Chains A and B, each alone.
Chain A
């Protein structure tokens, strides 16, 4: 499974891809994770890719993706054409306006107000990526929930584990309720 997280610096894009990759390794699978970002620590365009497989991964720089998580309009516009037909698109509803002309055929689209929910429920927009992670993983079953929890706890700043895990569970809940 090839997943691209894309948005701008500060949204937790790279760390999200890292968490998914680490979870996959904890599950005993093969994973590689890569990132690209500008020189700014916040605000520049950035992306994080993760590839999960049962066998050795030889193609380190894929051309097309199974899953795109787009957290900004430019990220959506730049990368949605690279989704494989039948792939999965997950958006932050309040940050992206979709355009059917750009999208490959038969993609599955999911749009949630991750940033808005993060702010209203947790008072912190920064945990929107955790909501997305829980939501995405429930839809796709990319990694086990236990591994995801462990990877999140080990990857977020000390003292914020509880809030991040709660945000992740909020995402699982939204997916369970069929919000899209």
Chain B
């Protein structure tokens, strides 16, 4: 009988060159085709992952996220990577946690129902501070809902889906180009802060084709996790060197590394009955993101020259496209509008919303759900401005006209 190939993700052949060099980057670009492509959002996510150095994908197919895994199943083997179809979504996150700990940048992709199933292991990734990227191509829920229709219903779940206190990062692209760009950012942030990062796309841009320009090596920064600096016999996997972000030792490289979802001390071993250990750990899990919020949070401001009577609009993801159109129309009609587009949904840009609330009388929050970011905006504005929700469900986008009418109908 032929000897079985028992190679694992820890084998060096599955690890991309580190640091990621120009040659490797250009090789991926050539495999992806020309510089300018016309592709779906789901494919753009796959391309961004490969350019970011992702060499492991584990997932379970689900509309409208299937194409991301499909594309990677064709491309990963060509770049020395591994693509596995898992038995379900929780196992998919388990697999990417393992792959990441074995030294490979790893990703999974799913939609609402699968994202719900992933929550337990997303908490595990947060607790064990394992860098990984989870793509949620949002569709209408709850439950199986409308598989082929887009929505923005998972914003709160992205932050609060697992139990306990933890922070993670979630990004919302609004174009197919951003599906690629923000996937690279998602990997960079996950590596930098040693956390799971959620990319919140949706069924509309996931399945839409649009122009994508592949970045040049010099245009992008590719971040790699902090490797151990201390000798092997002194290394502890969760030592806080002052940055609050631990060094990540790769399994199999000789460092004594133990990870567990249980409350652990700096050694990584369980310390479940220690209040100080638990408090120190969980506080650090939150603080490493909260204290770096200015570096992490990205928004786009398209503001008028201010003054009385301006209306604010806060948008994110695909809905920003409709808002852009509405803002253009409203300005042509001489109305003052300040548009704050959220790119980083989590941590939430409270300061930026507070600043907007100080400029305007009221803020409209259009979303493809029955009110999620609305609540965050209300909390951040803290009574400085009236917050007006604009809800839509059922799989259709906001029509720019609806936003225009709401702004104009201020009486």
- Where the two chains meet, the residues of A that have a C-beta atom closer than 8 Å to any C-beta of B are 18, 21-22, 25-26, 30-36, 56-61, 63
Going nearest first, the 7 A-B pairs with the smallest beta carbon separation are A58-B325, A33-B209, A22-B38, A25-B211, A58-B324, A25-B38, A58-B321
Number of A-B contacts defined by CB within 8 Å: 50
Selecting from B267-275, B278-286, B392-400, the interface stretch reads B392-400
Asked if residues B397 and A31 are in contact (CB atoms below 8 Å), the reply is no
Q: Is the CB of B325 within 8 A of A59?
A: yes
Q: How far is the CA of A141 from the CA of B38 in the complex (A)?
A: 20
User: Do the beta carbons of B318 and A60 come within 8 Å of each other?
Assistant: yes
Query: How far is B211's CA from A26's CA once the two chains are assembled, in angstroms?
Result: 9
7 contacts between A and B (CB under 8 A): A25-B211, A30-B211, A32-B209, A33-B209, A33-B210, A35-B207, A58-B400
Give B16-69 interface residues, CB cut-off 8 Å to A: 36, 38
A56 to B36: give the CA distance in the assembly, Å. Answer: 16
Q: Mark contacts of B211-234 with chain A using CB atoms, 8 A cut-off: 1 yes-contact digit, 0 otherwise.
A: 100000000000000000000000
Residue on B nearest A22 in the bound complex, by CB: B38
- Contact surface of B with A, Cβ cutoff 8 Å: 36, 38, 148, 204, 207-211, 318, 321-322, 324-325, 328, 396-397, 399-400
Do the beta carbons of B209 and A21 come within 8 Å of each other?
A: yes
Chain B hits for A57, CB < 8 A: 321
Instruction: Evaluate contact between B397 and A60: CB separation under 8 angstroms.
Output: yes
Could you tell me the distance between the alpha carbons of A61 and B322 in the complex, rounded to whole angstroms? Answer: 10
Tell me which of A25, A60, A63 contacts B208 (CB under 8 A).
A60
| Cβ contact of A18, chosen from B38, B204, B318, B396, cutoff 8 A | B38
Please tell me if the beta carbons of B209 and A34 are within 8 angstroms of each other in the complex: yes
**Apart from A18-B209, A33-B38, what 13 extra A-B contacts exist at CB < 8 Å?**
A21-B38, A25-B211, A26-B36, A31-B209, A31-B210, A33-B208, A35-B207, A57-B321, A58-B328, A58-B400, A59-B322, A59-B399, A61-B396
CA distance A63 to B208 in the complex (A): 17
Chain A residue at minimal CB-CB distance from B149 = A36
